[in-house]
Amino acid sequence: MKMDLTDTTSSKINNALVQGRRAIGTPAVGMVLTLVIVTDEEHAYDALKAANEASREHPSRKLVVIKRVSRSPRDRAKARLDAEVRVGTSAGTGETVVLRLYGDVIDHAQSVVLPLLLPDAPVVAWWPVGSPTDPAKDPLGALAQRRVTDAYTAEDPIADLTARSAHYTPGDTDLAWTRTTPWRSMLAAALDQQPDAAITSAEVEGEPCNPTGELLAMWLADRLQIPVDQTPRDTPYAITSVRLRTKRGPIVIDRPDGALATLSMPGQPDRTVALKKRTTAELLAEELRHFARHEMCPATIRPRVQRAGTPPTSAAPTATASTTADQRRDSPPPAPGTRRTPRKRQQT
């Protein structure tokens, strides 16, 4: 069921939601969170499609905030709120409200969104594009317990993450870090099978200037205390290969096609493992699972980097899988722009 409201208010939108639920015969609310999507008209369709798919796992009320910029000064001075209310099958699992803000109401978007939040339920704010440098101090971000951005959509992803690292607040996270989850899990599993392997260095190959490859390289350097090289490769995938060099031989995870990877380890036959490139909906669904245990922001732990000290020298002992197993899983990497890997290559 879909209802269009022109020049409306938050109160009228709430009434439309109640009427819509009654009309389709589901008056009870079974949603677990409110997802606030802040985007523009160009990216609204893709963002809402991803949110609807993620809502199959996390039933939610989705509030899509679209700030419309009028062409003439006269229209920009007029405050107006248009809404599109969707319930039932057209809204995924839950409810959807598309809010289009005009004029002065753009500067007060939080006043429109606040009455529409589900009571006693967590709030997640997601910026598919154009995320603020300090999400926690953004008027809409201040309403949320978790704030999700995506540095990959920025014009300069590495600079975007670096700038955001100075304003990190617990609850901030980025989908560039979420994309590293299967790689980190597989690397940890591989090293668990080589507990005495002395890791001397590592290499990450992938798309140039992709923040996911940058974050994985810094995570390896911080967790294993080893130098890490980054090798640009002409590919559409963030990461295509990770190589850990040990005294017994290299541990390699190679994924050239974005679907299946080959895991090679010393003393064992090569094996094929699933390492599929995940969709935005799958990434968002993973982030919506993290309310039970707080996970620090992937790319912005500058104080942690300052406490970690200098990178290892040639006289320092090499890392082993047994001494670093507890540090590998779900651990935040250092802040972008902080170079703790002397062998890191400059990307172009």
CB atoms within 10 A of CB 164: 24
Amino acid 29: pLDDT? 65
> Using CA of residue 124, residue 128, residue 130, residue 133, what is the dihedral sign?
positive
- Ramachandran region, residue 88 (left: φ > 0; alpha: ψ -120 to 50; beta: rest): left
Q: Which amino acid is at 9?
A: T
Per-residue pLDDT of the chain (348 residues; tens, 9 = 90+): 889 999 999 999 999 988 888 887 776 567 889 999 999 999 999 999 999 999 888 889 999 999 987 776 766 667 889 999 998 776 668 899 999 999 888 989 999 999 999 988 999 999 999 899 999 999 999 999 999 999 998 888 888 888 888 888 888 899 999 999 999 999 999 988 887 888 999 999 998 888 899 889 988 988 888 999 988 888 888 899 999 999 888 999 999 887 899 999 988 899 999 898 899 999 999 999 876 554 544 443 443 333 333 333 333 344 554 444 444 444 444 444 444 433 333 333
Q: Helices 211-224 and 181-192: crossing angle, nearest 10°?
A: 30
Please name which of 37, 53, 45, 124 lies closest in space to residue 93, comparing C-alpha atoms.
Answer: 53
Distance CA 99, CA 35 (A): 13
Amino acid 318: pLDDT? 46
Distance CA 272, CA 166 (A): 40
Amino acid 289: pLDDT? 86
Distance CA 130, CA 152 (A): 11
Q: Quote the tokens at residue 164.
A: 């955001």
Amino acid 110: pLDDT? 94
Which pTM was predicted? 0.81
